[in-house]
A and B are shown apart, each in its own frame.
Chain A
Amino acid sequence: MNSAAQTAAASPAADFKKWAGWVVGIGIWLLPLLWINLTTYLVLTVAGVTMGMLLFLTASGFTIILGLMDVINLAHGAFFAWGAYTGFTVLGLLNRLGWVETGTLGQSIGSVLICLLLALAVGWVLGVLLEWLVIRRTYGSHLKQILITMGAALVMAEIISICWGPNDEVVLTPAAFTGSVDLWNVVIEKFRLAAILVGGGVFLAMHYVLQRTKLGIIVRGGVENRDMVQALGHNIRRIFTYVFAAGAALAAMGGTMWSIYTREIRPDMGESNLIFALIVVVIGGMGSVTGCFLASLMVGLAFNYVAYSVPTLALGVNIMIMAVILLLRPSGLMGRS
C-alpha cells in the first residue's frame, strides 16, 4: 500500500512535466489553424491521420521488439519496402485478370485484401529468416545489433533492386479506391479512409491481443522482466521469434498500404520510413503500444501540417518535437524510466 501512496503523491515538478508533455502533444493538433484555413486543415488532418496509422504499422512492431528482447532492428524499414514491392507485384498480376483498374467494388476490395495477406506472409517469412540468421547472434549487444541490422537493411534493399530494378515504379490503385468523397467541402480520398480503417483495426486487434490473451500477458511480462517470465515456464526465445516475425509482417503490410496510398515505390523507401518509425518509437516510449499509437498520430499530423507550408522542414519539425518531448519526458510519452 505504501508504494501506491508514493506513486500518487508525485512531486509537483514531475507533475508539471507530465502535463506539459500532454499539452504539447495536444497543442500541435490545433496550432496550424493559425495560418491554415479550416477546410484545408481538415483535409490535412485526414492525411495526417492516414500517415499516422500507416506509421503505426511499422513503429508498433519495432517498439515491441525493442521492449521485449532489447533488440534494435534497423532493418525494420526493409520489411516495409518488401511489403510495398509485394503489393506492387500482386496488383500488377491481378490487373491482368482485370481486377484492379477496371474491376468491380468486390474485386477492388479483394485485390487489396490479397495484397495485404501476401505482404503479411512475405513479412513473416523474412522476419523469421532474419531472426534465425542474424538477430540471434546479436543478443545483448546494441552495438552489434545496430551494425548488423544496418547491413541487413542495405542487403534487403539491394536485393529489391536486383529483383525489381533500381528505379521508381508506379503502383496501381484498385478502381473502387480511386477518387474521393466530399464531406462539407472537405475532399477525402477514398483510399485514405481505407487506410485509416486498416490502421485503426490493427491497433484495436493488437490492443486486444496484448491485453486479453495469454500471449499478450507473456509479451507484456517479458517487456518488463524477461528472465522472470522464462523462470515461470515460457520459452521466451520462441515467443520472440514469433513477435519478431509478426512485427515484420505488420511493417510489410504497412508498406503495401503505403505504396497504394502514395502510388509510387523505390527500393530505398524503407530508409525514410524507418526514420519516421524511430522518431515515433522515441516519442511514444519504448515498448509501449498505446504511446506508439499516439506518437504515430502526432508525427503524421505534424508532418502534413508543415509539409503543406514548408515542405523541406517537415522532417526537421518532427526532429524538434522529438527533442522537446525528450527534454520534458526523457523516456517518451508512455515509456517507463
Chain B
Amino acid sequence: MADHPLTPVQAQRAQEAAGRFTRPGLWLQIALLVLLALEPWFISSFRVMDVAAKVMIFAVLVASYDLLLGYTGIFSLAHAMFFGLGAYSLALIVHHAGAPAWHHLPLAALVAVGLAVLVSLVVAFFSLRLKALFFVVMTLALAQFADILSIQWHSLTRGEDGVSFKLPGWLDVGWSGGKLWGLTINGRLLSYFLVLAAAALLFVGLVRFVRSPAGRVLKSIRDNEQRATALGYQTFNYQILANVFGAVVASLCGVLYALWVRFVGPESVMSTAIMLNILLMLIIGGMGTLYGSIVGAAFILIAESWLADGLRAVKTFLPDLLILQRLADRWILYFGVLFILVVIFFPKGLVGTARDIAARRRARSSE
C-alpha cells in the first residue's frame, strides 16, 4: 500500500465507504422507513394512511424534479405532465380493458415509461440546446397542451369527470385476508405497502443516480457548463439523460398515485396546480438536497389536510361573512404568499438551511 498512495479523491471515497454504516443519516432513513411501515398499526385512521401514502409518492416525485432543477439546472415546467401521463396510463388501461387483470399493472408501468422517454426525448431535442427560457416556455406550453387534451379528449379520458377504476385481486378495496397483529389485512393496506416499497426503491434509485459518476458530471454542468465541456464531457447527452430519467421516475410516481387513489382526472394529476405544488415542496424542502423533498412533501400535504379543516371550521362558525368565507375557501392563496416569502427570504429551504447550520457548527468546532 505504501507504494501506491491514494489520490485525494480515492481517499475521500474510501472514507465515505468506511463510514457508510455509522452515518446518522442512514439510521434516520431506516427509522423513517420502519415508522412508515408500522404506521397502520399505530393510528388506525384511513386519513392518516392516505396522507402518508401521498407524502411518499410526492416525495419521490419532488426528488425526481430536484434531479432536474436542483442537480442539473434544467428548469422544466412539464414535470406534472409526466406524472399525469403515468397516472392516465394505468387508469385508461384498466378502464378501457374491461375487467381489471394483473398484467395491467406492468403494462401500465411500461406504457408510462415508454411515453415519458419518448416525450422527454422530443422535448429535449427541440429545446434543451437553446436558452433556458425557451425550455421553460416549451415545457409550460406542452404541459398546458396535455392538460387541454386530458380535458377535451372526452372519448379517451372522460374529460373533467375523470376515470375511477378497480384494481385486480388483493389490491381491490373489497379484498380481505384475515388479521395480523390486530389489524385487518385488506386491499387498502396491501396497496399502502406496495406504494411504500415502490417509493423507497425509486428514492434509493434517485440517490444512487445523483451519487454516481454521471450524477457528479451533472452537478459540474449545473455549476459551470463551459468548464464541463472543456473537461471533455458531452454535456448535452448528460442533460438529456437527466431529463429522461427524471421524466421516467415522475411517470412511475403517476402510476403509483393512480394505484393508490384509484381515480384520475385532469384537476388531480395534470393541472398547473400540481406543478406549483411540486415547486413549492421543492423550495420549502430545499433544492439540490434530494432529502428536502421528503420534508417539503410532508409539510405541504399535512398542512393542506389540516389547513382545509381549520378553514372549514371558520366557515361553519362565521357563516355570514362572504369575504371571510371566500378567504377561507382560497387557501391556495396562502401557499402562494408562502412560496414568494420562502423564495425571497429562505431560498435554500429547510434541509438546505439545516445543512448550512450544521456545516458552520462543524467548521467552528474544528477550529
Interface residues, chain A, with chain B CB atoms under 8 Å away: 66, 72, 134, 137, 142-144, 146-148, 150-152, 154-155, 158-159, 161-162, 165-166, 271-272, 275, 278-279, 281-282, 286, 311-312, 315-316, 318-319, 322-323, 326-327, 330
Contact = CB atoms under 8 A, between A and B. Distances in A.
Contacts, number: 105
B326 A165 contact: yes
10 contacts: A147-B339, A147-B343, A151-B339, A158-B336, A159-B333, A271-B144, A275-B140, A275-B141, A319-B138, A319-B145
A148 B343 contact: yes
Given A146-B75, A271-B272, A326 B347 contact: no
A150 B279 contact: yes
Given A150-B279, A154-B339, A271-B272, A279 B137 contact: yes
Given A311-B152, A315-B144, A323-B138, A166 B340 contact: no
Interface residues of B, number: 40
B176 interface: no
Nearest to B126: A323
B363 interface: no
Interface string B158-182: 0000000000000000000000000
A139 to B, nearest CB: 13
Contact of A147 (B126, B130, B149, B283): B283
B340 A72 contact: no
Main secondary structure of the interface of B (DSSP, over half): helix
Contacts of B330: 158, 161-162, 166
A148 B75 contact: no
Interface of B: 69, 75, 126-127, 129-130, 132-134, 136-138, 140-142, 144-145, 148-149, 152-153, 272, 276, 279, 283, 323, 326-327, 329-330, 332-333, 335-337, 339-340, 343-344, 347
A151 B343 contact: yes
Contacts of A154: 276, 332-333, 335-336, 339
B141 to A, nearest CB: 5
B326 A326 contact: no
Contacts of A162: 323, 326-327, 330, 333
Contacts of B144: 271-272, 275, 315
B127 A326 contact: yes
Contact of B152 (A134, A161, A312): A312
B336 A155 contact: yes
Contacts of B340: 134, 148, 151-152, 155
A191 B141 CA distance: 29
A286 B276 contact: no
Contacts of B335: 154
B133 A286 contact: yes
Contact of B145 (A72, A150, A159, A316): A316
